[in-house]
Structure 1
């Protein structure tokens, strides 16, 4: 039996947390342990989620917690927000994704780019889970090249028509509203606050995905949907505004990936310390200790990066390249950790009675979304060289 659990926080970073941060972290950790872990494997197997999670996540403050109280947030620091995302993804990447979308990709743009009327109408409802949102930028023909988007907002006499499609959109099938990015007739990118129940909007759930099976992902088709001027976010100006939103989500992914890695490491550590081969625990074998020690090292490195990233963000000094570096490096670390931990369990690691394969499949999505693995290298590369490799 394992004698200690210092692998989860090997450099004692949590000892520096404030009492408030520790209380928030513990409340989310407890909710994940008691509410999510007993049922998440069933949901993943059945490709389902419990809609009640949304209300419960809201009660925990996970929707827009980093926004100011005046904008229906809780004045969380970036460190607090990161800790929350880490705990959610320790449960499941899909769970953290739903929270990231609601807070970082829906509430944030309304708070940052929306009118006073839009903020008053939606932010409190989104924060409490009474309203569910989605974020539509990716299209079937345009993933890593958002400038190529074909969704159009066409001006008429006193209204607009929205036409196009969005692909791989989290929460769309259960969403009440969507932040949809489109090009106007001047070819400028604008953000539309779309009522998902409007005539001309159709949503199809993607049922054949192997990853993020405990969250809802869909395609959105918009066929000449009538849009009023009051539905357009007035202060969203071009692709830069959309990418600002994505940086909020990428920050959450950098922290969340560590949560998934911790879940895999916990499982492998417990298994290795309790499973016997050749008359002694697996954890006593040199090669198993090598795997575990390398895994704990990689997690500790990611944690150190995340804590510094949060410090920079809280001081208003973080850059897009730093966020991209952390997102890419930590997702790669978590994916490698999941693979290594699965090997420690051998064939048992393939079973749904252990969480590793579920995390492994989920992490394959994290490699791709909110900027693919290689795109993040180019974002950091542009910052360190001064050259734009995208064109």
Structure 2
């Protein structure tokens, strides 16, 4: 499954995360601000452009490499994963469906660090139910007039463009008639809501984005009219590998904290790591993390080798999302009252874990995807 290059990438990413990211993790969480100096270091290492082809300024790497980088970064700071979104949500729609002109402008812009992208499907009244989106794009000559609102947009407050899903055929039923557009934030009628005050991954900025009669050039239609749902699902398939990798990294980080604390904490005259109950818990936690790891890299390998991976990506995202929440809970329990204090990393990790089983498809949606594919055999 892995080649020599993958282990080299892991060492590079792990060293970077430990030396450059970990020292800022608590500060990022407390201030809600991501240091520009650190962002520039991530760009310099090209961790954000692993999967973007060399032709457009990226590394031309595979999804196993991107998953490795995501895991190692999330292990130290889950919010930092949003700095490498071009590997997934903001880059995948363009890589999969963009034309040459769109790729040269937007993919290259992200790879070179001059553009930040975002992905907009969720609306106040349409989360898991994509068919319920109400954002519209009406053809007007060589433009589309875009109206609507998207919410919970990762990187929304700082994005230069966003891939927006809107109905171009309001009479079509279900998910038919949805199209995708590349919309620049500098265009008239594009506005942003307040930055959300979130439970976790606080160093990742999130907001609503509102479109009021935004004139989108027809050349910024992504793919063809009516392909929006297809584009969305294909993007989420690959994005789930990234989110699963994030969950895996959070779980491993929580396990690291549990191991460290139980070796240091003295109770009843000895470290609590010497207690059999602790040992059994650690064994169970380590096994869960390894199961998540195998699911994540199996999905990434299948994508890299051109196999169908929708079910595997959903399984990885579902399991890793639930796993990181469970491991963070159990690790905090080991810490006792200390775990409830912001001085300890596990308090932040516990809050960061919660989003993984929610965004890019809740655990319940993953179950629907998995069961649908198993039962349709």
Tell me the TM-score normalized by structure 2.
0.94
1:309-328 correspondence to structure 2 within 5 Å: 309-328=299-318
In 2: Cα distance, 1:311 partner to 1:157 partner: 44
Residue aligning to 2:200:
211
Residue aligning to 2:145:
161
Is residue 180 from structure 1 mapped to residue 164 from structure 2 by the alignment? yes
Q: Deviations over 1:62-105 (max 9, x none)?
A: 223123322433221221111111011112222113423x3212
* Counterparts in 2 of 1:203 and 1:53: CA distance versus 1, 3 Å: farther
In 1: Cα distance, 2:187 partner to 2:36 partner: 22
In 1: Cα distance, 2:223 partner to 2:3 partner: 38
Paired residue secondary structure (2:179): strand
Give, in angstroms, the shift of residue 193 of structure 1: 0.8
Q: Deviations over 1:38-75 (max 9, x none)?
A: 12112211222223443332222222312332243322
Moved more, 346-355 or 264-273: 346-355
Alignment equivalent of 1:277, drawn from 245, 249, 267: 267
Alignment equivalent of 1:68, drawn from 40, 53, 62: 53
Runs of 4+ in 1 over 6 A off after TM superposition: none
Paired residue secondary structure (1:41): helix
Paired residue secondary structure (1:227): strand
Residue aligning to 1:13:
none
Aligned-residue Cα RMSD (Å) equals: 1.7
Give, in angstroms, the shift of residue 344 of structure 1: 0.7
Give, in angstroms, the shift of residue 321 of structure 1: 1.6
Alignment equivalent of 1:127, drawn from 108, 111, 132: 111
In 2: Cα distance, 1:342 partner to 1:312 partner: 34
Give, in angstroms, the shift of residue 246 of structure 1: 0.9
Residue aligning to 1:57:
42
Give, in angstroms, the shift of residue 203 of structure 1: 0.6
Moved more, 122-131 or 309-318: 309-318
Q: How many residues were matched structurally?
A: 371
Give, in angstroms, the shift of residue 17 of structure 1: 4.3
Give, in angstroms, the shift of residue 235 of structure 1: 4.5
Q: Deviations over 1:263-299 (max 9, x none)?
A: 1111111111121111111100111112111111111
Moved more, 338-347 or 306-315: 306-315
Q: Deviations over 1:302-355 (max 9, x none)?
A: 122223222222221132122111100111111100000001111111222322
Residue aligning to 2:211:
222
Give, in angstroms, the shift of residue 170 of structure 1: 0.4
1:1-391 correspondence to structure 2 within 5 Å: 17-100=2-85, 102-185=86-169, 187=172, 188-235=177-224, 237-386=227-376
Paired residue secondary structure (2:119): strand
Residue aligning to 1:8:
none
Contact 1:55-1:128 at 8 Å conserved across structures: no
In 1: Cα distance, 2:327 partner to 2:278 partner: 13
Contact 1:155-1:185 at 8 Å conserved across structures: no
In 1: Cα distance, 2:32 partner to 2:13 partner: 23
In 2: Cα distance, 1:342 partner to 1:99 partner: 28
Contact 1:25-1:83 at 8 Å conserved across structures: yes
Residue aligning to 1:10:
none
Contact 1:309-1:318 at 8 Å conserved across structures: no
Paired residue secondary structure (1:193): strand
Paired residue secondary structure (1:316): coil
Paired residue secondary structure (1:164): strand
